[in-house]
Amino acid sequence: MAERPEDLNLPNTVVARIIKDAIPDGVNVSKEARLAISKAASVFVLYATSCSNNFAMKAKRKTINAQDVLAAMEDMEFDKFIEPLQQCLDGFRKEQQDKKEAVEKRKKAKEQNTAAEEKEDGIEVVEIEDSTSKEDEEEENSAVDDDDDSSVQVIEDD
């Protein structure tokens, strides 16, 4: 939680940019009006968060998700916000999916390039699955050791 009331305020530059984008050119907004809008926006965010948290708690979750926020908007009677928020959410999800697919595509291309370079260099990487157990290996090693005794000769120099 915030230690001071000022910690709950939104950044002034962000609020000023939103105000500037919302009003026509040539309209000026006083410093007091910007401060009032900033405080109102902070209160709105806190209220929306609190309502969203209530929906998460009803669902026995500790994490607020997008559906909680949409339900809170309806509960707070901000129905006009639901459709634009849903569109933004859909756009965000699509953007995230596109990024994920791009990363997977780059990874696959990199793997193919690496394999092609190894093939050019005459190196072929083959993965072999080892299905023998530790006991089987020990038995094979002891059998090999027994067979090897006859073929190994020790030559000593005097």
**Could you tell me if 93 and 40 lie in one domain?**
no
> At which of 77, 111, 133 does a domain end?
77
pLDDT score recorded for residue 53:
96
**Could you tell me if 64 and 102 lie in one domain?**
no
**Could you tell me if 28 and 95 lie in one domain?**
no
For residue 151, being part of any structural domain is answered with no
**Could you tell me if 20 and 59 lie in one domain?**
yes
For residue 148, being part of any structural domain is answered with no
Q: Label residue 29 exposed, middle or buried (CB < 10 Å: 0-12, 13-18, 19+).
A: middle
**CB of 85 within 8 A of CB of 69?**
yes
**Could you tell me if 60 and 101 lie in one domain?**
no
Q: What is the extent of the structural domain holding 17?
A: 1-77
Secondary structure (3-state) at 108: helix
pTM of the predicted model over 0.95: no
Which of 9-23, 87-101, 132-146 is modeled with the greatest confidence? 87-101
CATH of the domain at 50: 1.10.20.10
Cα–Cα distance, 80 to 37 (Å, whole number): 19
State the total domains in the chain. Answer: 2
**Could you tell me if 55 and 91 lie in one domain?**
no
At residue 151, does pLDDT exceed 90? no
Section 109-131 average pLDDT = 69
Which pLDDT band holds residue 12 (cuts at 50, 70, 90)? confident
Q: What is the average pLDDT score of the chain?
A: 81
